[in-house]
Amino acid sequence: MKLLKNKRALSTVVTTLIILVVSVLLATVVTFYAINVTTTRVQTESLYLTKQHVWYNTTGSWAEGAVVIVNTGGKDIVIDKLTVRGQPCNWTDVYYWRTNTVTVSNDLEVTPLELTGTTFNITVQGADRTFDQATDDITLKSGYTMVLYMKNPDSIALNDVGVTVGLTVFTSNAQYYKETNIEAAQ
């Protein structure tokens, strides 16, 4: 009975405030922990597109596109689709070369002959590289570089020389877009 008559007990309002503050602090700590775990352990996708070109060969009447793709993200990716000026490139018209040992710092050059066959040799970084013809989606490991050449993208014609076109690389999670001017090549 003496407990009920004790006047030194906390009031109901103070007790409620203490419980409320403790629960908010606990929820904040749990939230910050969850954010820390997910941001430090989740690998993100990131591609860097550079050295993009689209050429029209005025003597051979064919077009060619090229781009360097560097996977700077923390996970491997799959390239689902390539488009030039919004039109998809057929996989059989795409040739690729992957590397993790060569840094592609020189600009890409137009090939003297139209791309044909299942493999094609193209000079990149001062050496002949064997490019394989794509048959389906192309994978690119984290930290790797890929050079892509496209045969006759979006039916580029002589009148298109000097026009700006967009080149888009599609993955399952994102789209990467770059613009370039169509150049004349002999």
Q: Tell me the pLDDT tens digit for each residue of 43-56.
A: 688 999 999 999 99
pLDDT of residue 74: 86
pTM of this structure: 0.77
Residue 9 has what pLDDT?
64
Residue 41, pLDDT > 70, answer no
| pLDDT recorded at residue 33 | 87
What's the pLDDT band for 123 if we cut at 50, 70, 90?
A: very high
Predicted pLDDT of residue 8: 65
pLDDT higher than threshold 80 for residue 142:
yes
Of 105, 97, 98, 144, nearest to 121 by C-alpha is: 97
Cα(96)–Cα(24) distance, rounded to whole angstroms?
A: 55
Structure confidence at residue 155 (pLDDT): 81
Q: Three-state SS for 19?
A: helix
pLDDT of residue 173: 87
Compute, in degrees rounded to 10, the torsion defined by CA atoms 113, 118, 123, 125.
150
Q: What is the pLDDT of residue 134?
A: 96
- Residue 88, amino acid: P
What value does the mean pLDDT take over residues 133-145? 95
Kindly tell me the sign of the dihedral angle through the C-alpha atoms of 20, 23, 27, 29.
Answer: positive
Alpha-carbon span 91 to 101, nearest angstrom? 25
- Mean pLDDT, rounded, for 120-135: 94
Indicate if the pLDDT at residue 2 is higher than 60. no
Among 64, 52, 48, smallest CA distance to 176 is for 48
Closest CA to 129 of 66, 60, 78: 66
Q: Which residues contact 135 (CB under 8 A, 6 or more apart)?
A: 91, 92
